[in-house]
Every structure is written in C-alpha cells, then in structure tokens.
Amino acid sequence: MKQSKNKNLFLKAKLGKYLTIALVVSVLTTLPALAIGSNETGGFNPQELLRNALVQIQEWGAVGAIAFILLYIVATVAFLPGSILTLGGGFVFDVVFGSIYVFIGATIGAICAFLIGRYLARGWIAQKIADNQKFSAVDRAVGEQGLKIVLLTRLSPIFPFNLLNYAYGITGVSLKDYALGSIGMIPGTVMYVYLGSLAGDLATIGTGSQPGNPLIEWTIRIIGFIATVAVTLYITRVARKALNQAVSE
C-alpha cells in the first residue's frame, strides 16, 4: 500500500515537471513573436504591445475572448504588466464579461507560474532549508495556513502579483489552497475592470489620462490598506508561532 502511494506521488511529481517544462517552452516560443511585433513599432514596449493586442482582440468578436484569456496567461507568466489587460478587459468586454475573462486568465496564469516555481525551484529550496529547523518550521506553518495567507495577499495591492505567483511555488502552500486563494482577486478585478470600462479610447488605458471614479478608486485603496495590515499581522503571528515551536523542540 505504501509502495503504491509513493509510486503515485512520484508519477504526479514527474507529470508536474513535464507540465512545467511545457509551460516554459510555450512562453519562450510566444515571447519572440511578441517582441517581433513590438519591434515593428520601434523597440520592445510591453504596454504598447498589449494595447495593440487589445485592439486586435476587439475586432475578433467571440474568438477575441479566448485570445484575451490566453494573452493574460502568457502575460502573467512572462511578467508583463497585467494592469493594462485588466483595464483593457473592461473597455473591450464591459464590466461583467471583462471581469470573468480577467479572473479566468489571471487565475490560470497564476497557477502556471506557481507550478514553474514549484517544480523548477522548490526542490532546490527544500534541500537548502532541510537542516534548518526554524526555516522548515516557518515553511510548514505557512503551508498549513496557506489559504488564509494567499487570500489576504490577493486582496492587497502592495504585493506584486506576478512575482508572488512564483514565490508561492517555493513555499509549502498546497496547489488547492493557492488556487482557492485566487478568490481574493475578485474585488480588485471588478473595480479595475470597471475603471477600464470608463475609458474613451484604448490608447488611454494605463496612461493615467483615462477618466476615473473617485469613489471606486478610494474603495480600492481602503480595501488594499486593510488587507495589507491584516496579512502583515497574520503572517507575523504565524511565523512567530512556528519559530517558538521550533526553538522549544
């Protein structure tokens, strides 16, 4: 029974590595095409590149929704500015469908980045902290409280979204808790998509010259501030408890 369980874990790990390699290859093959398209307009400008892509997607109708989600996934994995796409989603698809497409793309993209971080870096990190009881205890504690921590950090705008996706991959947070924690993106997603829907032209998206709603903008700031304080206090408490436990052992 134990041998069968170990075999299943080995097969899952192996499958995870193959999926991770496939994700990396797909991103590496997509980026040169994006760079070539950008060079035609002079230099690699990711914001301008994404705006041009949104213009094209707007003309594709129903197919544009699929293209938008795929673009958001690639942008998330490749560290391209997702705010342009979030605002653009509101302009191209309106608030309801824009929010849905952004959430799907951001969630899948975040999971892809998480898998890359886990299967390309997690093993190396685990070896480094194996003999350090304090680090191991903190890592284990964060893993046990993963859902709450991921949820709070998703609510806070202080934590960089793209970088955080990879960072969680090298912690003990389970994929299930990590994916469920994506729910924390919904309030910010809806608010930014709404702001994007107010833009009069795609060229103004993300430039600061687009129209805004002061009430929505202040709501985003307040929610972000509360979430930042909450996650800071919570992580500090979890880490302190783990360290005290490690020291007592």
Domain coordinates of the chain in residue numbers? 2-248
| Residue 29: pLDDT band with limits 50, 70, 90 | very low
Query: Rounded to 5 degrees, what angle do the CA atoms 197, 157, 31 make?
Result: 70
Write the DSSP string, the chain: -HHHHHHHHHHHHHHHHHHHHHHHHHHHHHHHHHHHHHHTTSS--HHHHHHHHHHHHHTSTHHHHHHHHHHHHHHHHTT--HHHHHHHHHHHHHHHHHHHHHHHHHHHHHHHHHHHHIIIIIHHHHHHHTT-HHHHHHHHHHHHTHHHHHHHHHH-TTS-HHHHHHHHHTSS--HHHHHHGGGGGHHHHHHHHHHHHT-S-GGGTTSS-S---HHHHHHHHHHHHHHHHHHHHHHHHHHHHHHHHHHH-
| Least confident span in 15-19, 204-208, 232-236 | 15-19
The residue assigned the tokens 């653009």 is 88
Q: What is the pLDDT of residues 113-138, one digit of tens each?
A: 899 888 887 776 666 656 666 666 66
Tell me how far apart the alpha carbons of residues 111 and 177 are, in angstroms, rounded to a whole number.
Answer: 11
Residue 197 above 60 pLDDT? yes
Could you tell me the pLDDT band of residue 170, with boundaries at 50, 70 and 90? confident
Stretch 16-22: mean pLDDT: 53
Following CA atoms 163, 165, 169, 175 in sequence, which dihedral angle do they give, to the nearest 10 degrees? 170
d(CA 84, CA 55): 12
Neighbours of 12 (CB within 10 A): 10
CA distance 58 to 92: 6
**Range with the lowest mean pLDDT among 62-66, 168-172, 243-247?**
243-247
Query: What is the average per-residue pLDDT within 31-42?
Result: 48
The residue among 182, 199, 164, 163 whose CA lies nearest residue 87 is 199
In angstroms and rounded to an integer, the radius of gyration of the C-alpha atoms of the chain is: 20
Please determine, for residue 180, whether its predicted confidence score (pLDDT) is greater than 90.
yes
Report the percentage of the chain scoring pLDDT > 90: 17
Residue 173: what residue type?
Answer: V
Residue owning tokens 């909450």: 230
The region of weakest confidence among 88-97, 130-139, 225-234 is 130-139
Report the chain's mean pLDDT, rounded to a whole number. Answer: 74
